[in-house]
Amino acid sequence: MRITHRQLEAYNLFMETGTVTAAAERMGLSQPAMSKILAGLELDLGLKLFQRQRKRLLPTHEAHLLHKEVKRLFESLTDVERFAKDLRNLRSGELRIVSAASLGHTLVADAVADFAEAHPTVAISLNVSSSVGNDVLGQNIDVGFSVTHFQHPALTTFPLFHAEAVCVVHRGHALAERDVVTAQALEGMDFISFTRNSRMRHLTDAVFEQQRIMRRMNCEVFSSVEANALVARGMGAAIVEPMSVHQGFWPNLCAKRFEPTIEFTYNAILPRARQRSALTDTFLDHLRGRIAALAAGDDPRAGPSLRMRLA
């Protein structure tokens, strides 16, 4: 017969109090009931735990050795209960995030800072990646963020907000004084484009091809982050998604409204098979708070070129 938690609890109390009567009182039992539990434990273990002298139970050497193991077991159970309580109160656990650079360096980083301040004992992992969808699919990730909408049966994707693309130029560029840059204004100018197989490239090229506007495209980049870095060094103009520029990482960069409008949707991506944790939900609340403040113009780092709306 397998031993029970109740048997071990009774045994532990007996060893700590030294008498059957005191242990029975601690458990709210009668003395005969406590004696029966201890005798049953001894029988189930097949180990002589007690010497019986003048109606008293005296622990054997084996009983003292066993008590050390039982104490360790109960201490472990206490640790489990404490850990479970910390999980319920969001004082423990791990949050694993992967994000495209444009969000990972801006809004997501802001939300991580907010979350970490509110939950200082939670372990946080933030990875900036160029393959967010694959990372959420193939790794132990709680939530990802990207401008790309991923359609995969193992992923759940939902929009967070929409924002309009901006044209970025160096502060010394001929277009730097304009409030709005049109596609026509970029005709014949040096232009930094995205790689040919990217969604950003298709969206941008469609605007210029529709209006039959030619640009000098001698440089290609993978993302808006690289485009901003090159434009800030005077290498022409680029059309980029706005989150990568609104916090002023590049002091020589000017971001201008671009017409006709190109709108990007920023998405959260979650693994469909894993239930969303309370930590993930709480982090998303922090992120939504940051997004709402930015959309309402309450974030002083958002310049006039940033035009966005909540999803």
Query: What's the token pair of residue 195?
Result: 């790689």
Strand 190-194 to strand 216-221: parallel, antiparallel, or no bridges (unpaired)?
A: parallel
Query: Are 214 and 281 in a shared domain?
Result: no
Query: Are 132 and 270 in a shared domain?
Result: yes
DSSP lists the bridge partners of residue 59 as 50
Query: What's the token pair of residue 169?
Result: 């130029």
CA 301-205-252 angle, to 5 degrees, is 30
Q: Which amino acid is at 131?
A: S
Strand order from edge to edge, sheet including 180-182: 180-182, 253-259, 166-170, 238-240
Residue-number span of the structural domain to which 65 is assigned? 5-88
Give the domain-ending residue among 64, 88, 112: 88
Give residue 248's pLDDT. Answer: 67
Query: Are 285 and 151 in a shared domain?
Result: yes
In the predicted model, what is the mean pLDDT of the chain? 88
Give residue 163's pLDDT. Answer: 93
Query: Are 62 and 122 in a shared domain?
Result: no
User: What's the structural domain count of the chain?
Assistant: 3
Question: Rounded CA gap, 91 and 113, in Å?
Answer: 16
Query: Are 55 and 120 in a shared domain?
Result: no
Q: Where are the alpha helices (DSSP H) in the chain?
A: 5-17, 20-27, 31-45, 61-88, 101-104, 107-118, 132-138, 199-210, 224-231, 278-295
Query: What's the token pair of residue 29?
Result: 């039992």
What digits encode the pLDDT tens for the residues 171-196?
Answer: 999 999 999 999 999 999 999 999 98
Give the domain-ending residue among 88, 123, 143: 88
Question: Rounded CA gap, 77 and 79, in Å?
Answer: 5
Closest CA to 16 of 61, 62, 84, 63: 63
Q: Where are the beta strands (DSSP E) in 121-202?
A: 123-128, 143-146, 155-164, 166-170, 180-182, 190-194
Per-residue pLDDT of the chain (311 residues; tens, 9 = 90+): 588 888 888 888 888 898 888 888 988 999 889 889 988 888 888 889 888 887 788 888 988 888 898 888 888 877 666 666 655 655 557 899 999 988 998 899 999 999 999 988 888 999 999 889 999 988 789 999 998 878 889 999 999 999 999 999 999 999 999 999 999 999 999 999 999 888 889 989 999 999 999 999 989 998 888 999 999 999 999 999 988 787 667 889 999 999 999 998 999 999 998 888 888 999 999 999 999 988 888 877 767 778 889 98
Query: Are 42 and 67 in a shared domain?
Result: yes
> Residue 309 is inside which H or E element, if any?
strand 308-310
